[in-house]
């Protein structure tokens, strides 16, 4: 998980097999992220979207 500047957020992670809502995409350093909390983003390559 990273912040809006692309810095790792210490001691924060999402547990496997949990559901989260995302409300926007962010593009940082050529990578695409989903926002999962205020100023907290996860790489789109690390998640599975379920409708």
Nearest to 48 by CA among 17, 14, 24: 17
Give the structural domain span for 14: 1-51
CB 49 within 8 A of CB 42: no
| pLDDT tens digits along 1-50 | 999 999 999 999 999 889 999 999 999 999 999 999 999 999 999 999 88
The count of structural domains within the chain is 1
CB 32 within 8 A of CB 21: no
Which helix (H) or strand (E) segment holds residue 43: the answer is strand 40-43
What's the pTM value of the predicted model, to 2 decimals? 0.86
């Amino acid at each position: 998980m990273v912040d809006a500047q692309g810095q790792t957020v210490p001691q924060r992670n999402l547990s496997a097999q949990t559901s989260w809502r995302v409300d926007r995409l962010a593009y940082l350093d050529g990578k695409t992220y989903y926002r999962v909390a205020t100023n907290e983003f996860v790489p789109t390559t690390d998640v599975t979207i379920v409708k």
